């Protein structure tokens, strides 16, 4: 997947592995990522509609998605 690209129906676990483990999110960034993925999925991949529903800009959605991908990367 290219940076900033979102696929309709994207499973939350592909963006945030904590969802795959069934654990509760512990950081604000994890909660934000879950909310963004849910909004993008609810709007069938339409980033503009998801951003509007969340009350944030499209650029913020893209930035938060990239930050969420960083959460799933091991440090180092």
15 pLDDT band, cuts 50/70/90, is low
pLDDT in tens, 35-67: 998 999 999 999 999 999 999 999 999 998 888
pLDDT at 73 over 70: no
Q: Residues with Cβ < 8 Å from 66, sequence gap 6 or more?
A: 3, 4
Domains of the chain: 12-71 (1.10.10.60)
**What integer is the mean pLDDT of 21-43?**
81
| H or E element that contains 17 | helix 17-21
């Amino acid at each position: 997947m290219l940076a900033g690209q979102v696929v309709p129906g994207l499973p939350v676990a592909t963006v945030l592995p904590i969802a795959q483990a069934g654990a509760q999110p512990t950081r604000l960034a994890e909660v934000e990522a879950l909310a963004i993925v849910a909004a993008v999925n609810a709007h069938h991949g339409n980033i503009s509609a998801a951003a509007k529903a969340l009350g944030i800009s499209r650029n913020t959605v893209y930035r938060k998605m990239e930050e969420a991908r960083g959460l799933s990367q091991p440090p180092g």
